[in-house]
Structure 1
Amino acid sequence: MARFIADLVSTSRTETRTLVRLSLPIWGAQLAQAGMSVTDVMMTGRLSPTDLAAVSVGSSLWLPLMLLMTGTLMGLTPVVAQLLGAGKRAEIRPQVHQALWIALVMGLLAMLLIWTIVMPIFHWMEIPEAVASRSASYLLAIGAGMPGIALFLALRSFSDGMNHTRPALLISLIGLAVNIPSNYLLIYGGPGLVSMFGDWLPAPVQAIPALGAFGCGIATALSMWAMSLSMMVYTRRSSAYGDVELWHSPTPPRWKIIGELLYVGLPIGVAIFVEVTLFTLIALLIASLGEITVAAHQVALNYTSLLFMLPLSLSIAVTVRVGNTLGQGRLRAARMVAWHGAYISLAAALFNSTLVWLTADAVIDLYTRDGAVKTLTMSLIGLAMLYQVSDGLQVNLAGALRGYKDTRVVMLITMLAYWLVGLAGGHWLGTQGLAGLTPPMGVHGYWIGLIAGLTVAAILLGERLRRLSKRVAASQTDTANA
């Protein structure tokens, strides 16, 4: 144990700066992308509780599909990172081309799925008619942007694996720059422009209709395509990728490479899908508790999810660093890199919890003017602080394991912890209470279930990383002694 701690301290002296350098642009990119969601919630929330509920419920359907694509395409990152570490740069381009084929197909399927399943799900969940109709129009617009965001995600995973994380920040800022004015124009229409600039605006401008939730969906789809096209231009023109001429000699689908990428990436996508499905189903289950509860849950989750971008960014950087180190054949060093990332993420999560406590009241005022929504949201803040710690730790442990391309066990742990403990336990607490000791806890019960599921995931992922990293490091020792 003493040797492990000494090695970890030594690793931190050399690894911390590299990890921070990689993760900060990713963090900025994640914040910019999360800022789009925050903008959606804030602008629709100030329009009406119904539009806010419509966007919240709609987001609970399209976000899981996007995150399934995100995770699946993240399988490209450790592949590129290990090839880069091993000096096999010529093998990177065909891998990226096949990932783009995967992205295009997944984006089109997501679009078709969103357009066909919306109303049946809303009827099954007994969503109020006013919320359901506005949410359906919001999702109709979102679907058109899904192929674009899928292509962006594939190119971003390539760039991250090349240790070039700044483009994600730059292009995400472009997306945010498109999203904010488009949201305002399309949500509030001419009346919104008049309230901001005055009634001197021309009559045609003042006559622009206020589209509410539908306008919010159009603005989001425009942002998705703006990011995709910008990333294509950047990867074509930038010299940062060296001799990996990405857009030279496009390759048709190669089923062997596609299968290998899906073998690594699909379990990541399923794991992230399972995680977000936990939040999705909770959002749908509490929809019957009324607009106030839905809005409060969404505000609390939206704010804490914004802070979660820091440990998530560290997780992506840890995947890259572990992959690079393994590709270089430094197996014992990779173990230290993995655990160093986990401890840094724990510190970041504790920082986030403190920030939630200090800023909650002021931040909630930015989301809503409704007193009932504010009161209920504040009651969730203490639980949100605990949630930050568990979620930050488990996502970085999973990131380290992905650097090892160990994705299937992560998927199984996620399914067990999130659905069995988090969702089932939270639903029981929310509707039945705790073994007769408490009455049904409502939305608070669901949040307690969230914390329990994330904590179990962190414990199991930590044990998996301990065993796997120790075994891989020992294999290098055995080879050296042979």
Structure 2
Amino acid sequence: MKSSSHYSPRIEITHLLRLAAPIIAAQVAATLMGFIDAVMAGQVSATDLAAVAVANSIWFPAILLVMGVLMAIPPIVSHHLGAKQKHKIPHDMWQSGWLALSCAIAAMLVVQLAPYILSVMDVEPTLESLVYGYLDAVIWGAPGFAGYLVLRNISEGLSFTKPSMWIGIVGLLLNIPLNYIFIYGALGAPAMGGAGCGVATAIVQWLMFGGMIICFRWHQFYKPYALFSAFEWPQFHAMLQLFKVGFPMALAFFFEVSLFAVVAILLAPLGATIVAGHQVALNVSSIIFMLPMSLGMAISIRMGYRLGQKDAEGCFFSLKTGLKVGLAQVCCTAIFTLLFRHWIADIYTNDPAVIDLATNLLMLSCVYQLSDTIQVIGVSALRAFKDASGILIITLVSYWLCGLSVGLMLGLTDWLRPAMGPYGFWIGFCVGLTVAAILLSLRLKYFYRKLTHDPEWQN
């Protein structure tokens, strides 16, 4: 085994930042689409802003299956590269594409349950109508979104992250005029209010998929991999193998993200102002979260490559170096959030009650940014090991058994103290993320001991 001194922190940081910077740009661009939706819908009314929040709380958990399953692709592809098995990559691309399409269709069907979800809540009729309008439009973008994610993850697994950055930025820029057309009514389109964001989002998702296809077909970088040299029909066994790796990761991703999404639904009976304030703070937190998440994806790619080379020490060197970068980054984002929270909330809305709630919730977000960074890097590292079961169990315990339980008790009951509403749920976020950070760190320690004492990994 190579000594730790063999590795250069400066070189490793350079590799990580070269991978992470375009991923960050692509992730931020995707999240800024949500920011733009919230801002433009919020300028119509607090009800339109709340409609976007509630609709996304239904749409995102449904589409998370596609996103989560495909998160297994980058470390698998980078592992093939490290093991000098690039001939396997086209097969993975085609079969993951068929799997993604199947999951997208499933997501479209799941959204049809929205009336049953909203029927159990005391939601305002106007809000309910806008939610249905958004969902009826956005579901048609699901297949395009699935195709885009497949090609993006293949490219990132090949350590070529710039295409997703540029296509993400173009998608963001297109989202603005499309939102304007369908929210306010222009060029002959009807004024749909917040529901128009769903139409714009669906169109952008197909355009981004088209952009990735053009890039794969014509960019010289992809030529050696012959990704489109032979068409493949669905192969059930191959799709099942990918599903077995990706589905537990998708569930884990669902447990994490749905913790935040479900809260918007639970808060809906408290009124549009409460939901809007929660959505503003959550959207800001989501944008900040893209930084450690993108770094984690870069770490997973580096670790997958090292694992393909049977280099255990190098694998954990990449992890430790990336974690240090993440901790430095979170110090900056937490301070920025604390200092500029009032200014940030003002961007979203001019409603004083929404601004007041959002700024208070943003203060709580500063508390959990540290544990959030540690846990997302930990999950990314475990993806490199294909540790689907470990990720699944830890996230279930952390987010739903701990985080959501604490949030429900503090937010909606008087068991421990008078009901705190949204504040109670955000304290639950802090608890869930902290538990996840601790358990994921212990799991990675187990893998370190296992690999560094395994004769097969001694170089």
Q: Does 1:139 align with 2:139?
A: no
Distance of 1:55 and 1:304 partners within structure 2: 17
- CA distance 1:477–1:264, shift in 2 (3 Å): closer
Counterpart for residue 83 of structure 1: 80
Cα contact 2:65–2:103 (8 A) shared by 1: no
Q: Deviations over 1:19-40 (max 9, x none)?
A: 0110000000001111110010
Question: How far did 1:425 drift?
Answer: 1.0
Q: Does 1:474 align with 2:459?
A: no
Q: Does 1:245 align with 2:221?
A: no
Residue type of the alignment partner of 2:45: S
Q: Deviations over 1:293-314 (max 9, x none)?
A: 1110000110111111100100
Question: How far did 1:342 drift?
Answer: 2.2
Identity %: 38
Q: Does 1:102 align with 2:81?
A: no
Distance of 1:9 and 1:312 partners within structure 2: 28
Cα contact 2:4–2:313 (8 A) shared by 1: no
Equivalences for residues 41-120 of structure 1 within 5 A: 41-114=38-111, 116-120=112-116
Q: Does 1:452 align with 2:449?
A: no
Q: Does 1:304 align with 2:285?
A: yes
Equivalences for residues 69-468 of structure 1 within 5 A: 69-114=66-111, 116-190=112-186, 205=187, 208-433=189-414, 435=416, 438-468=417-447
Residue type of the alignment partner of 2:318: V
RMSD across aligned C-alpha pairs, in angstroms?
1.7
Residue type of the alignment partner of 1:245: A
Distance of 2:338 and 2:370 partners within structure 1: 13
Name which of structure 1's ranges 326-335 and 443-452 shifts more when overlaid on structure 2.
Answer: 326-335
SS in 1 for 2:30: helix
Counterpart for residue 194 of structure 1: none
Equivalent in 32, 43, 47 of residue 35 of structure 1? 32
TM-score with structure 1 setting the length: 0.92
Residue type of the alignment partner of 2:313: R
Distance of 1:477 and 1:249 partners within structure 2: 35
Question: How far did 1:376 drift?
Answer: 1.3
- CA distance 1:184–1:338, shift in 2 (3 Å): same
Distance of 2:104 and 2:192 partners within structure 1: 25
Distance of 1:408 and 1:9 partners within structure 2: 33
TM-score with structure 2 setting the length: 0.96
Name which of structure 1's ranges 11-20 and 221-230 shifts more when overlaid on structure 2.
Answer: 11-20
Q: Deviations over 1:103-130 (max 9, x none)?
A: 111112212222x211111111232221
Counterpart for residue 23 of structure 2: 26
**Across the two proteins, how many residue pairs are aligned to each other?**
458
Cα contact 2:52–2:131 (8 A) shared by 1: yes
Residue type of the alignment partner of 1:27: I
Runs of 4+ in 1 over 3 A off after TM superposition: 6-11, 476-480
- CA distance 1:8–1:179, shift in 2 (3 Å): farther
Question: How far did 1:479 drift?
Answer: 4.6
Distance of 1:406 and 1:241 partners within structure 2: 29
Distance of 1:357 and 1:64 partners within structure 2: 29
Cα contact 1:174–1:226 (8 A) shared by 2: no
Name which of structure 1's ranges 355-364 and 469-478 shifts more when overlaid on structure 2.
Answer: 469-478
Q: Deviations over 1:303-352 (max 9, x none)?
A: 11111110010011011000001111212211221222223222222221
Larger radius of gyration: 1
Cα contact 1:50–1:131 (8 A) shared by 2: yes
- CA distance 1:9–1:393, shift in 2 (3 Å): farther
SS in 2 for 1:105: helix
Query: What 5-or-longer segments of structure 2 have no aligned partner?
Result: none
Cα contact 1:69–1:106 (8 A) shared by 2: yes
Distance of 1:333 and 1:61 partners within structure 2: 41
- CA distance 1:94–1:448, shift in 2 (3 Å): same
Question: How far did 1:209 drift?
Answer: 2.8
Question: How far did 1:9 drift?
Answer: 10
SS in 1 for 2:43: helix
